Chains A and B, each alone.
Chain A
């Protein structure tokens, strides 16, 4: 009889054992189940992971200053979207444009063929020199007349030697005026180039300045980013805690399931042992 009993108990224990195993499988599947056909995972663990993923997802942040309101968020495609909410300073930008325009004007001036300007300067210089030259010529004429040489012309000099000297003086004056004009023209050109550069620098500076509000806002965003980091860190920490706790719970559940199943198995095992002895006695 005992054997029967043993068998009976053994069967009962086996049945219980299979039942517990099924329970454990179900529990395990309740915790994590992967459908290879759909390539999707279900269960408490993916749910916890999804929850953690959702809970740890970038939540975005924003900064509001007197300059404007900047936000950093996530687009629908998951990519971050930043809205600075602050543009270039229009005053500086206008200034930049104005300076740039002035720089362009100067640059164009500096790049222009300044022969006309040199001619203008030459004429001005000659206009300054001419009275002196004319005075010299008048003096020469007076001297020549006094010497009776006013009517003299020689091939070698084109006129008289005095005329040649006067012509040389005029050429010299002209050369001087030309050089002065050239130098002055080039200096003006260089000055224009310099001014173009200065204006361009000023324009550039203004342009840079025009970004100052944005820069400031971005600096504020950077500061805000730090806060967001901290927030995110906290969030992640919280999620970590949550995950760990859930995993701990799951682990505890699994462990408890394992312990229960082992206990139950041991019980069944002892029962079966006992039953077998009994049954062996019977049989």
Chain B
């Protein structure tokens, strides 16, 4: 018997982000089966992510033919420029981070930044790098820092800003200090006190660990001489002073060996972080939470093991980031978080990647050494990047979604390795370490060299308690939002495509969406396009692809005109 045409509506499609953990029949239409290159915008719509835009591409890095450089690490420190005058502004801008700052030429009191990074250099088309070099940005040009040639870069290395300089750690290499355009070994500092035992015997001549963190006025380093059971810390605000058993009170550096405290009996320090007043020591599959890292860690109210968590660990030290309210980190089960509870001083564990657990676990399992987590604070997102796949999961920070997990989307075409939010008094920029010799990128705008497409796929229509039923769709309407450009009405998007499908994971049908309500003189930011569709089947899903074209795009609502066919069961 013929059915009447009915309209199914998906208001706010995918506002809860991806969900691979609930059956498509059970999950509501708030979830999405696909949300590529999407974010959840400020009003809760699925929207296009910003571009990995070129920012500083000019470089003076010596490359052989067929070589490329990729910035695998990037850090910055704010430097005090209060004494600047107009006359010396260009001099100070030697270490200024970007052309825009450089061109402003503000005469006095410009807070600046010093940027330092590690670039890997390898042959085009290969994944690995032949060597690593230090880089900095000098008057808008990426330049080499020749004295920094670490053995490691992508992994087993770390950059730590501390006290106005940047420390470059690399496993087995002496830590380098980047300051004002040049770098030198920390051990070359006249004040350097190596790690010395009580007999005055130098135990380690160099700080050559690769697990490092700056917190509570100290550098915390593990992996020195390959010892991943011990965390060494420098004297308070004196990164040149390390444990020397001097006991005269002038040096309160020290170390802690945590070997006996791994709850699983055995582990290896993977990362160190400061969060909620605690010092978090991550193992591969355990976490030790120490209080009392402030002040003197070896003192009376010093380090105390607050908690030892088993079966939750850290994939690698780049796979964590502090988002203020939470410390996010990647372990084998996905992206986890240590919460921040001031009163109880406890650290509840949550699983922000709950909605994509199955998907992300597989990726993590295959990329434990290179998976990275970055916080793009100005965008209120955290991205879990898989550089080898050039894919990332984007977690919308703030209130978690309906399931308790953060709303998650997926990014593709991620041609960057690292991300850092560069904050100055008058600018906040998300810098990305670009790949394929692209230099420094900015997560900004909607234009990038490579085309990128916002893709969405809904969960199954007529899900929930509805009986399995054949649907015969007739048309699908999309209400979307685009920014106006100047006073001209936006052109009908030529790059918005409708997708739909039945029964299978793929959505084989593709149709061009035609804008319906384009009228002369219309300047509305909200528009609707329609696509006539065909086919029939059960488990109908709808979606769209939008090739981002330099302007923001967000999907408001999807409406489907369909006939309901026979009930299958």
Is there a chain A Cβ closer than 8 Å to B208's Cβ? no
> For A164, what are the chain B residues with a Cβ–Cβ distance below 8 Å?
247
- The answer to whether B254 touches A154 (Cβ under 8 A) is yes
B241 CB → nearest A CB, Å? 8
Could you show 12 A-B contacts with beta carbons less than 8 Å apart?
A148-B308, A149-B256, A151-B255, A151-B256, A151-B261, A152-B256, A152-B298, A154-B296, A155-B235, A155-B241, A155-B251, A155-B253
CB 8 Å contact bits of B531-545 with A (1 = contact, 0 = none): 000000000000000
CB–CB A148/B297 < 8 A = no
B106 in contact (CB, < 8 A): no
Q: Which residues of B contact A150 (CB under 8 A)?
A: 260
Q: Which of A147, A148, A151, A154 contacts B299 (CB 8 A)?
A: A154
In the complex, the answer to whether A147 meets B305 with C-beta atoms within 8 Å is: yes
Closest to B245 in A: A158
Residues of B within 8 A of A161 (CB): 296, 298-300, 302
Indicate whether A156 sits within 8 Å of B303 (C-beta atoms), given known contacts A148-B261, A150-B260: no
Kindly identify which residue among B241, B249, B304 contacts A148, using a CB–CB cutoff of 8 Å.
Answer: B304
B259 contacts across to A, CB distance below 8 A: 151
A158–B298 Cα gap in the complex (Å)? 9
Assuming A148-B288, A148-B290, is B254 touching A155 (CB within 8 A)?
Answer: yes
Interface residues of B (CB under 8 A from A): 198, 230, 235, 241, 243-247, 249, 251-261, 288, 290, 296-300, 302-306, 308
Q: In the bound complex, do residue B298 and residue A156 qualify as a contact, i.e. CB atoms below 8 Å apart?
A: yes
CB of A160 within 8 A of chain B? yes
Nearest-neighbour CB distance to chain B for A53, whole angstroms, equals 101
Complex formed: what's the CA distance from A150 to B262 in Å?
13
A104 to chain B, nearest CB (A): 48
Question: Across the interface, do B247 and A152 meet the contact criterion of CB distance under 8 Å?
Answer: no
Q: Which B residues touch A154, using CB under 8 A?
A: 243, 252-254, 296-299, 302
A153 within 8 A of B: yes
Cα distance, A164 to B304, chains bound together (Å):
16
Minimum CB distance partner of B236 in chain A: A156
Nearest-Cβ distance from residue A222 to partner chain B, whole angstroms: 81
Interface string of A130-169 (1 = CB under 8 A from B): 0000000000000001011111111111111100100000
B198 touches A158 (CB 8 A): yes
**Nearest CB in chain A: distance from B56 CB, A:** 42
> How many contacts A-B (CB < 8 Å)?
84
| Complex contacts, A151 vs chain B, CB 8 Å | 230, 255-261
B43 CB to nearest chain A CB (Å): 46
* Complex Cα–Cα for A148 and B254 (A): 15
Q: Which residues of B contact A145 (CB under 8 A)?
A: 260
B261 CB contacts on chain A under 8 angstroms: 148, 151
Within the assembled complex, what's the spacing in Å between the Cα atoms of A160 and B258? Answer: 14
CB interface residues, A 221-247, toward B, < 8 Å? none
Instruction: A158 to B244: give the CA distance in the assembly, Å.
Output: 8
Give the residue name and chain of the B residue nearest to A156 (CB): B252
CB distance from B28 to the nearest CB of A (A): 45
How many chain A residues touch B (Cβ–Cβ < 8 Å)? 17
Indicate if the CB atoms of B298 and A157 lie closer than 8 Å.
yes
Cα(A149)–Cα(B299), bound, Å? 10
Q: How far is the CB of A146 from chain B (nearest CB, A)?
A: 8
A contact face: mostly helix, strand, loop, or mixed: loop
- Give the one of A145, A147, A153, A157 with max B CB within 10 A: A153
Please, how many angstroms separate the alpha-carbon atoms of A149 and B245 in the complex? Answer: 17
Assess A155 versus B243: contact at CB under 8 Å? Given A145-B260, A148-B261, A148-B288.
yes
Q: Pick the contact of B305 from A148, A159, A160 — CB < 8 Å? A: A148
Residue of B nearest to A150 (CB): B260
Query: Which residues from chain A contact B241 at a C-beta distance below 8 Å?
Result: 155
Contacts of A157 in B (CB 8 A): 247, 298-299
How many angstroms between the C-alpha atoms of A149 and B300 in the bound complex?
10
Cβ-defined contact, B303 with A148, below 8 A: yes
Closest residue of chain B to A145 (Cβ to Cβ) is B260
Contact with B304, one of A149, A153, A156 (Cβ below 8 angstroms): A149
**How far, in whole Å, are A145 and B305 apart by their CA atoms in the complex?**
9
> Are B298's CB and A153's CB within 8 A?
yes
A145 CA / B257 CA spacing, docked (Å): 11
Do B230 and A155 touch (CB < 8 A)? no
Given the known interface contacts A154-B296, A156-B247, the answer about A147 and B254 at a Cβ–Cβ threshold of 8 Å is no
Q: Is the CB of A159 within 8 A of B290?
A: no
Residues of the A chain whose Cβ atoms lie less than 8 Å from the Cβ of B304: 147-149
Least CB separation from A160: chain B residue: B298
Q: Closest 3 A-B residue pairs measured CB to CB? A: A148-B305, A154-B298, A154-B254
CA distance A147 to B260 in the complex (A): 12
Given A148-B288, A151-B230, A154-B252, do A159 and B298 touch, yes or no (CB 8 Å)? yes
B299 neighbours in A (Cβ, 8 Å): 154, 156-157, 161
Q: Which residues of B contact A158 (CB under 8 A)?
A: 198, 245, 247
**Which chain A residues border B243 with CB–CB below 8 Å?**
153-155
* Residue among B256, B260, B290, B298 with most chain A CB within 10 A: B298
Whole-angstrom distance between the alpha carbons of A145 and B261 in the complex?
A: 8
* Given pairs A153-B243, A156-B249, 19 additional interface contacts (CB within 8 A): A148-B290, A149-B302, A149-B305, A151-B257, A151-B259, A151-B260, A151-B261, A152-B298, A152-B302, A153-B254, A153-B256, A153-B298, A154-B302, A155-B235, A155-B245, A155-B246, A155-B247, A160-B298, A161-B300
**Complex Cα gap A153–B299 (Å):** 9
Q: Is the Cβ of B305 less than 8 Å from the Cβ of A155? A: no
Whether the Cβ atoms of B252 and A155 lie closer than 8 Å is yes
Max count, chain B CB within 10 A of own CB: residue among A145, A148, A150, A151? A148
Q: How far is the CB of B555 from chain A (nearest CB, A)?
A: 50
A residues in contact with B306, CB < 8 Å: 148
CB distance from B271 to the nearest CB of A (A): 18
CA distance A164 to B254 in the complex (A): 14
Contacts of B198 in A (CB 8 A): 158
A149–B254 alpha-carbon span in the complex (Å)? 12
Contacts of B251 in A (CB 8 A): 155-156
A155 to B252, CA, bound (A): 5
- For the complex formed, measure the closest distance between the CB of B211 and the CB atoms of chain A, giving whole angstroms: 16
Task: Enumerate chain B residues within 8 angstroms of A160, measured Cβ to Cβ.
Answer: 298, 302
Bound state CA distance, A158 and B251, in angstroms?
A: 10
Contact bitstring A163-199, B, C-beta under 8 A = 1, else 0: 0100000000000000000000000000000000000
Task: State A158–B249 Cα separation when bound (angstroms).
Answer: 10
